[in-house]
Amino acid sequence: MDPGNYTGISEFYLMGFSEELELQPLVFGLFLSMYLVTVFGNLLIILAVSSDPHLHTPMYFFLTNLSFVDICFTSTTVPKMLQNIQTQSKVITYARCLTQMYFFILFTGLDIFLLTVMAYDRFVAICHPLRYTVIMNPWLCALLVLVSWVVSVLYSLLQTSMVLQLSFCTEVEIPHFFCELNQMIQLACSDTFLNNMVMYLATVLLAGGPFFGILYSYSQIVSSIHRISSAQGKYKAFSTCASHLSVVSLFYCTGLGVYLSSAATQSSHSSAVASVIYTVVTPMLNPFIYSLRNRDIKEALMRFSGMPALKGPIVLGLKKCP
């Protein structure tokens, strides 16, 4: 059916960051560079882990899934923005807007769930090291990723189908660089009470729930590390989770900062600028965080690129991880 029958419109306008034409080449170059770094960096992580049999473990299985999701996450929003800047057009059709919103919600959910699964993996590795290979078996790892996909797909379908029921009359300018759920709901001229309730409830359950799960995992990890007698042993144990903890902090703090800044300033433009941090910058930094703090990844990248691997003593015990 024609979406105009339900909305009264057939297209929206993505207003982006700046109306000044002289700034558009700078914005285009900046986002193109960040997008290429994100895709190239995460793709290198996937190829390095896939090509190295030593990294075929649950920890790196989840990492490759996270890298794949980050590539898709960024590809959902940035290419369309670059196209609009290049063509000097802000138009996005109704169908493409809903499609973009669907995939953005999907990959945001997957990011959250995969970070939670990786926290559970570290919890088992440090708190139950002798049972790690039994608990984190291939079947469970695949099941955790599958459940993450299923829940994310269903939630994204729910939100998209609810937006389909809304009417959009005359206000078609989205003060953002992509079709974000909250902005779409605010533009609707029909009753949005149910949409807002579902969105807030889902935020509490699907974002707050995993966040507290991560906090619980790390509280147990810290408790286990605290019982280690030597300072060197404590450092080695905690360093196995440093990369993952850095990524979790970056993702949640920037995401929370977006909504706090939006609530404080009541400025959609400020929210759009803040959204760049967790939609573009965070996926771009993830490969650097994991590769710079992880000797196994650095050696795998060197072997994959044909460079000689790093020389150094092999530390027995827990293997370093994201």
| pLDDT value, residue 2 | 44
Taking CA atoms, 219 is separated from 79, 205, 235, 258, 318, in Å, by 40, 20, 16, 26, 19
- Distance of alpha carbon 283 from alpha carbon 75, whole angstroms: 11
Encoded tokens for 33: 């560079």
Place of tokens 């990786």: 118
- CB of 279 closer than 8 Å to CB of 254: no
**Residue located via tokens 């770094």:** 37
- Band the pLDDT of 303: cuts 50, 70, 90: confident
Confidence of residue 10 (pLDDT cuts 50, 70, 90): confident
Q: What is the rounded CA–CA span in Å between residue 10 and residue 92?
A: 9
- Give 76-98 pLDDT, tens digit per residue: 999 999 998 888 888 999 999 99
Whether the pLDDT of residue 168 is over 60: the answer is yes
Phi, psi for 308 (deg, rounded to 5): -65, 140
**pLDDT digits over 178-233, tens only?**
998 888 888 888 889 999 999 889 888 888 899 999 999 999 998 888 887 777 77
Nearest alpha carbon to residue 292 among 232, 242, 230, 219: 242
- Tokens 């966040």 found at: 211
CB contact set of 228 (below 8 Å; sequence gap of 6+): 234, 237
pLDDT averaged over every residue in the chain: 83
Q: Do residues 125 and 132 make contact, with C-beta atoms less than 8 angstroms apart?
A: yes
**DSSP codes joined into one string, 18-37:** ---GGGHHHHHHHHHHHHHH
Give the closest residue to 318 by CA, choosing from 235, 244, 237: 237
- Distance between CA atoms of 52 and 64, rounded to whole angstroms? 12
What domains sit in the chain, N to C, each tagged with a CATH number?
4-305 (1.20.1070.10)
Cα separation of 111 and 120, whole Å?
Answer: 14
pLDDT > 70 in the chain, percent = 84
Q: Tell me which DSSP letter residue 90 carries.
A: -
Angle, alpha carbons 267-285-291 (nearest 5°): 165
Residues whose CB is less than 8 angstroms from the CB of residue 310 and which lie 6 or more positions away in sequence, other chains included: 295, 298, 299, 302
CA distances from 43 to 37, 39, 66, 114, 277 (A): 10, 6, 11, 17, 20
Query: At residue 267, does pLDDT exceed 60?
Result: no
Length of the chain, please? 322
Average pLDDT over residues 120-147: 94
Stronger pLDDT, 73 or 275, i.e. the higher one: 73
